[in-house]
Every structure is written in C-alpha cells, then in structure tokens.
Amino acid sequence: MKLPVTLFVLCFACSLSAAAETGTTVKDTELKKEPFIDAATLATLPGQTTVEILKRQGGWTQVKPPTADKGWVRMLNLRLGDGKPRQEGSGSGIGALFNVARSGSSGTTVTTGVRGLDITKDTLQNASPNPGELKRMHGFSVSKAEALKLAGSAKLHKQSVEYVEPGAVRPSGNASSSDAPASSWGNN
Amino acid sequence: MKRIYRQLTALALGTMLASQAWAFGGFNLDLNKIISAGKNLSEASKEISEPEEISIGEGMASVLLGAAPLLKNDAIQTYINQVGRYLSLQTERPDLPWHFGVLDSVSVNAFATPGGHIFVTSGLLKKMHSEAELAGVLSHEIAHVLRKHHLAAMKKAGGMGFLTDVASIAVDQKGGGGYAGKELSKNLISGMKEILVRGLDKDDEYEADRMGIVIATRSGYDPYGLPAVLQTLDGLSGTSDVSLLFSTHPAPASRLDTLSGLMQSKFDHYQGQSVSDRFRRLVPNGGNN
C-alpha cells in the first residue's frame, strides 16, 4: 500500500520541477551560446534529438542535449516529450497523477478523488443557459482605466505591430520598429 | 419579383437541407420564420448589427456557463478581466462590452462568443506559467470576436437567413434591459451548442493564432506566450482533458509549425514581458504540465 503513495509523492515532486521536462527537436537546430540569433553556435542538433529543457526566454529555450553543453535553441523547433507517440495518461504532471491514482489492481479505470467538472460535447449538449452566472460574470468587468493601471504596474508598454498575413515571412533582421505605423487605438 | 421568389425558395431549401445535415436536430425553424427572414432579402444579406452580435454572444455565453460555472475565486476573475480588457484596448474594437471569465473545469480549453465574452478554463490556467501565456490565449480568443468567426460559422451552417432569424429572436428576447435570462428559443440554444461542439473553421483558428500573437505583442507581452501554451497542449495530446479542444482545433503541432514559419526572426526584436510573478501569486499551481 505504501508504494503507490510513494509513487504519487515522487510524481508530484517531478511535476513541480521544470527541469524534469524533456523536449525533442523537430528538425536540425542550432544550439546557441546565448538566446540570440547572432550568438555563437555551439553545435547543430539533428532533428529528433531528445534534450532536457531548462528554461524559456522569449522565443528561445535553454536545453541540455545529451552530447553537448547546455545552450539555447529556438523554442518553436522543440516539441515537449521524447518524440515517441503518447498514450492516455502517459504524460507527466497531472495526467500522470491521475494515471497513478487509476492504476489499481485490476488495471481498469477507478475514479479516485474529486476530479472536477469536464466540458465535453455531451455536457455542452445537455447544458441549460445559466443567466445568473452570466450576471455574476458581468459583475467582474473592469473599466479601461483599471485595466491600464494593471498593465502599468507590470511595466507593460504598448508597441506598434501590424497584423501578419499567412506565409508573410520577412525576417527584418535588426531591432527596428519603424516597419509598423503607430497604432491609432489604445491607451488613451 | 420572380427572382426574389426563386431566391426565397433557395433560401428556404438551403435552410432545410442545413437543418438535416446538423446532427442534433432542433434546427427545424418553422417556415414562417424562414419566410419572415427571407422577406426582405436586402436585409437578409446585410451584416448582423453589433447589438445583434452582442445579444447572440450573451446567449451563447449563458449556455457555456450552464455547462461549467465560473471558478469561485473573485481575485482571479477580476485579474483575468484586467488583463483581457487591457488587451482589447490594443485592437480595432476597443469599445465592445468585453467580459472575461475563468470556468471551473478540469478540461483544458478556452472559448469566445460573439460580441466580447471570453472564457478560459481553470484546467488551462493551471497549465500556464505566466501572464504572457494567459495574454496569448486571451488574444487568440479576442481575435475570434474581432473577426466574427462564430457568426461566419453560424452562417455557414444555417445560411444567412438563419443568422438574421437568430439575431432577431435574440434581440427580441433581449428587450430593453439586456439579456437577463429570458427564455431563449430551443432553436437558438441548439444552434449555439452546435457551434461550441463543432468548433470554428480551421483557417479561422490559424488566423486567430496569427492575430493573437500580434495583439499580445502590441500590449507589451512576450510574443511567445501563445506558442508556449501550444507547446504545452501538444505535450498533453492523448489525455482526456484536451479531447474537446483537440476535436475543435487543428493539432497544436500544426499550429506551432505554422507559427514557426511566421515568427522566425520577425518577432525577436520586440521586447516583451512575461509577467510571471503576479501570475504565480494568483495561480500558485501554475505550470503543472
């Protein structure tokens, strides 16, 4: 009886530690010394290389590959996991928690604990409108001024960025924001 | 006159065919309604007005809240409204009545309804690591509202006549004091449920991704918030918590591939904040992947 509890605790510990996460490159990927495109290239990781994920910074993820020192790869060149097909409950974290809880002696699904409410096709089809809850939702609305106050306290600064068209890949290279006109709406 | 009659017949026929194609019935609008919608064809072909759009969206939000209530945490509900409302100010529709809510559900998903109601489940919120990730998801949903993707889906499913009909029913029921739980017609409710269950056009999802990263970036957030969430979702494939999300959206891997081509280098020079400290204070279990 003790083993499942230990597993449960161990698993929970793993889920809290980001360092336990693995990722796999989707294509040949340059491993950079710093999270910048023009940083020194430490190595080129072939596609399907499984790496340990350390942290993310913007579009870059710091990783530790099996055969090289830690460095930075483009976040979008990574997928979480070891690249093998996944099965129900085989992931880390919460999914694994439930998996452990479920894998009783019979191996069949035994619901343990309070799982919480699912939103599925069935629950949506069977739902009745809930105007009272809608009213409650409206009660949480905030004014523009309140919203801007929260943004200001996190030092969020408005930037000019135009919408992008599909396939419009035009690397601009340097840090110029002159390629977009000032937006005509916003923090007034 | 003959031409109008022919169009009217086609409209009625189209609506009937559409109603048969819909799996769950309930879409058999009576002929009088169809004719009333088709009577004024010039009106039927024009866009749904903003009040109509908002009214449809309120009804749809009410249905969604019937499936899962709001999370009982006032601080989080206020917070998501502050973040969402700020994001909405960086868009072309800053004056819609925007409302944001966290649904109390283990399912990992987010929803928008026409006119400005946006929802994120507590299940999805717990998978996030920062406010920038929340902003990315909210911006994606905001984009659906900006581009009226749900109205397009309703139009596609039931025809313009149906949409006008729905709008008139919704506005009738709205009356003077806003949608306040007045009885929605069964047709209207089942139509809204169909859109929620079937999801939107896949191209509209890709468009919302493209617009979402721009809205978040404009607002000063790390542009890679939405991609980070998609990466997390990709890692959850095969689990039951994401079943509805996966059946109504393109695979996260495809969405990441698409964004990869789009964002490579282009978004690197924008300085964005991740704002993870206050996010973690409010969502202490965040990042449980």
pLDDT digits 0-9 by tens, B57-114: 999 999 999 999 999 999 999 999 999 999 999 999 999 999 999 999 999 999 999 9
Locate tokens 């309703």: which residue?
Answer: B154
Torsional sign, CA B128, B132, B133, B139: positive
Q: Which of A59, A158, A175 sits opposite B263 (nearest CB)?
A: A59
Rounded percentage of chain B residues whose pLDDT exceeds 70: 73
Mutation choice for A interface testing from B56, B74, B76, B86 by most A CBs within 10 A:
B86
B191 falls within a domain = no
Torsional sign, CA B205, B211, B217, B221: negative
Q: Which of A76, A80, A148 sits opposite B86 (nearest CB)?
A: A148
pLDDT reading at B216 higher than 80: yes
Measured in angstroms, the CA of B236 and the nearest CA of chain A are apart by 7
Contact A120 B107 (CB under 8 A): yes
Max CA distance (Å), chain A? 65
Contact B232 A80 (CB under 8 A): yes
How far apart are alpha carbons A172 and A161 in whole angstroms?
13
Q: Are B162 and B2 in contact (CB under 8 A)?
A: no
Average predicted confidence (pLDDT) for chain A? 73
Chain B residues 25-54 with CB within 8 Å of chain A: none
C-alpha closest to that of B250 among B213, B278, B208, B281: B208
The edge-to-edge listing of strands for the beta sheet with B99-103 is B99-103, B117-121, B110-113
How far apart are alpha carbons A149 and A99 in whole angstroms?
43
Rounded percentage of chain B residues whose pLDDT exceeds 90: 57
pLDDT reading at B27 higher than 90: no
B88 falls within a domain = yes
Q: Are B98 and B116 in contact (CB under 8 A)?
A: yes
The number of helices, as runs of H, and strands, as runs of E, in chain A is 5, 7
- Residue A100 tokens read as 């452990």
C-alpha closest to that of A31 among A94, A74, A67, A66: A74
Contact A91 B235 (CB under 8 A): yes
Chain B residues 258-287 with CB within 8 Å of chain A: 258-273, 275, 278, 287
Average pLDDT over residues B242-257: 93
Q: Looking at beta carbons, which residues of chain A come within 8 Å of B239?
A: 88-89, 91, 95
pLDDT reading at B187 higher than 80: no
B154 falls within a domain = no
B206 falls within a domain = yes
Between A137 and B172, the more confident residue is: A137
Number of domains in chain B: 1
Q: Does B235 touch chain A (CB under 8 A)?
A: yes
Strands B99-103 and B117-121, by their bridges, are: parallel
pLDDT of residue B288: 58
pLDDT of residue B154: 84
B40 falls within a domain = no
- Residue B182 tokens read as 């007045």
Contact B86 A56 (CB under 8 A): no
B41 falls within a domain = no
B193 falls within a domain = no
Locate tokens 């097909």: which residue?
Answer: A85
pLDDT (tens digit, 9 = 90+) per residue, B120-132?
A: 999 999 999 999 9
Q: Which residues contact A153 (CB under 8 A, 6 or more apart)?
A: none
Closest residue in A to B101 (Cα–Cα): A137
Closest residue in A to B222 (Cα–Cα): A58
ipTM of the complex: 0.81
pLDDT of residue A180: 37
- CB count in 10 Å sphere of residue A145: 8
pLDDT of residue B14: 41
Instruction: Give the domain range for residue B238.
Output: 54-148+200-282
Contact B97 A141 (CB under 8 A): yes
C-alpha closest to that of B259 among B281, B228, B215: B228
Could you please report the per-residue DSSP string of A118-173?
A: ---HHHHHT----HHHHHHHHHT---HHHHHHHHHHTT----------TT------
B224 falls within a domain = yes
Measured in angstroms, the CA of A132 and the nearest CA of chain B are apart by 7
Q: Could you give the 3-state DSSP secondary structure of residue B262?
A: helix
pLDDT reading at B248 higher than 90: yes
Chain B residues 126-145 with CB within 8 Å of chain A: 126, 131
Q: What are the Cα distances from residue A181, in Å, to A66, A185, A187, B208?
A: 45, 12, 16, 21
Average predicted confidence (pLDDT) for chain B? 81
Q: Name the β-bridge partners of B70.
A: B103
Contact A76 B264 (CB under 8 A): yes
Contact B224 A58 (CB under 8 A): yes
Burial zone of A121 (CB within 10 Å; 0-12 exposed, 13-18 middle, 19+ buried): middle
Low-confidence ranges of chain A (pLDDT < 70): 1-20, 85-114, 167-188
How far apart are alpha carbons B265 and A56 in whole angstroms?
16
- Residue A95 tokens read as 């999914």
Q: What is the DSSP letter of B73?
A: -
How far apart are alpha carbons B17 and A98 in whole angstroms?
44
Q: Are B141 and B112 in contact (CB under 8 A)?
A: yes
Measured in angstroms, the CA of B115 and the nearest CA of chain A are apart by 13
pLDDT of residue B135: 98
